[in-house]
Amino acid sequence: MRYAYYPGCSAESTARDMHQSTQAVARALGIDLQEPKGWTCCGATAGHQTDRLLAVSLPAANLTKVQDMKLDMLVNCAACYSRMKVANHEISAHPEIRKGVREALDRDYDGSVKVRHLLEVLLEDVGLEAIANACKRSLNGLKVACYYGCLLVRPPEILKFDDPENPTSLDGIVKAMGGQSLEWPCKVECCGSGLSLSRTGVVLQLTSSILDMACRAGADCIAVSCPMCQVNLDLRQQDINKQTGKNYHLPIVYITQLLGLCLGISSGELGFNKLMVPASNVLEKVAANSHE
Mean pLDDT of 86-91: 97
Q: Report the predicted TM-score, pTM, of the whole model to 2 decimal places.
A: 0.96
Q: Are strands 2-6 and 73-75 parallel, antiparallel or unpaired?
A: parallel
In sequence order, the 6+-apart residues with CB closer than 8 A to the CB of 255 are 119, 146, 170, 173, 174, 223, 224, 225
Question: 46 pLDDT band (50/70/90 cuts)?
Answer: low
Predicted local confidence at residue 210, as pLDDT? 97
Beta carbons of 80 and 105 less than 8 angstroms apart: no
In sequence order, the 6+-apart residues with CB closer than 8 A to the CB of 269 are 20, 21, 24, 260
Report how far residue 122's alpha carbon sits from residue 128's, in angstroms, rounded to the nearest whole number: 7
Domain extents in the chain:
2-118, 130-288
In sequence order, the 6+-apart residues with CB closer than 8 A to the CB of 247 are 241
Predicted local confidence at residue 241, as pLDDT? 95
Helix/strand/coil for 55: helix
Across 5-21, b (16+ Cβ under 10 Å) vs e yields bbbbbbbeebbebbbbb
**What are the pLDDT digits (tens) for 268-278?**
999 999 999 99
Helix 78-93 vs helix 52-69: angle between axes, to the nearest 10 degrees? 100
Q: Name the burial class of residue 49, with classes exposed (0-12), middle (13-18) and buried (19+) by CB atoms within 10 angstroms of its CB.
A: exposed
| CATH fold of 2-118 | Glutathione S-transferase Yfyf (Class Pi); Chain A, domain 2 (1.20.1050)
Percent of all residues in the chain with a pLDDT value above 90, rounded to a whole number: 88
| 196 pLDDT more than 90 | no
CATH number of 130-288: 3.40.50.11810
Please, what sign has the CA dihedral across residues 271, 277, 278, 283?
negative
**What are the pLDDT digits (tens) for 218-267?**
999 999 999 999 999 999 999 999 999 999 999 999 999 999 999 999 99
64-68, 113-117, 188-192: which range is least confident on average? 188-192
**What are the pLDDT digits (tens) for 130-185?**
999 999 999 999 999 999 999 999 999 999 999 999 999 999 999 999 999 999 99
Report how far residue 169's alpha carbon sits from residue 161's, in angstroms, rounded to the nearest whole number: 9
Q: Report the alpha-carbon angle 88-24-160, nearest 5.
A: 25
